[in-house]
Amino acid sequence: MKQKKILIADDEKDIVELIAYNLEREGFAVRKAFDGRKAWELVNAEKPDLVILDLMMPDMPGMEVCTRIRRQEATASLPIIMLTAKSDPVDRILGLEVGADDYITKPFHVRELIARVRAVLRRSERRPDADLPESFDYRGLHIDFKSYRVTMDGQPVELSAREFKLLQFLTGHPGRVYSRDQLLDQVWGTRPSWNPEPSTSISAACGGR
């Protein structure tokens, strides 16, 4: 089995070394970056399988790195775990909205972080890009899964990375009804600790196409 490569980006070197040591003990290959610009360079040069990304870093904040990763077609589906000292629910939501797959606050338990790394990698392996259709069309709605672009009646629709993932999931399961908790599990992968307004159920988009 190919050794998974993890990029750790954090300006706190002690944290980077702690995470790197434990990931290497678990059989992962590790690359390190101590500022956002270097992290962005390594994403493109090293092609990691997952990025652990601190929110606040010099040169380029983690939020900007995450946004760049999602906007670039070659890295758009790269799994990202946000690691930050900010525990405010708004910061969690913003991290998920720009495309993070998971969000862990400091201080954290190393075993939990490793468990989340494995969980995010498993989810990414279950949905490889090669298995995705190139596009989806229904009653004026056009979704380009390769370029992450959405139009409605020819007009562009601006979506966050998380909104796009939700739309992608719903169009891939037409005619089915999902509860709020099921959607959190399927799209967020693990239920966020912030508590969005509950809804009874949401029907998959474009049922019976």
Under 8 Å between Cβ of 63 and 51: no
From first to last of the 209 residues of the chain, give the pLDDT tens digit.
689 999 999 999 999 999 999 999 999 999 999 999 999 999 999 999 999 999 889 999 998 999 899 888 889 889 999 988 766 666 667 667 777 888 888 888 999 999 999 989 988 776 544 455 778 888 889 988 877 789 999 898 988 777 887 888 888 777 777 777 677 666 765 444 434 433 333 334 444 44
pLDDT for residue 126: 63
Hey, what are 49's tokens? 């399988």
pLDDT for residue 186: 67
Neighbouring C-alpha atoms within 13 Å toward the C-beta of 190: 18
Distance between CA atoms of residues 165 and 162, nearest Å: 5
How deeply is 53 buried, as exposed, middle or buried, from its count of CB atoms within 10 A (0-12, 13-18, 19+)?
Answer: buried
Cα–Cα distances (Å) from 190 to 20, 35, 71, 107, in that order, read 23, 27, 23, 19
Under 8 Å between Cβ of 110 and 89: no
CA torsion sign for 78, 69, 51, 191 is negative
Relative to beta strand 5-9, strand 177-178 is: unpaired
Relative to beta strand 102-105, strand 80-84 is: parallel
Amino acid identity for residue 160 in this structure? S
| Helix, strand, or coil (residue 57) | coil
Distance between CA atoms of residues 133 and 145, nearest Å: 7
Spatial neighbors of 91 by CB under 8 A, at least 6 apart, are 55, 84
Which domains does the chain possess? 5-126 (3.40.50.2300), 132-203 (1.10.10.10)
Distance of CA 1 to the CA centre of its chain: 23
pLDDT for residue 18: 95
Residue whose entry in the numeric block shows the structure tokens 């904040």:
61
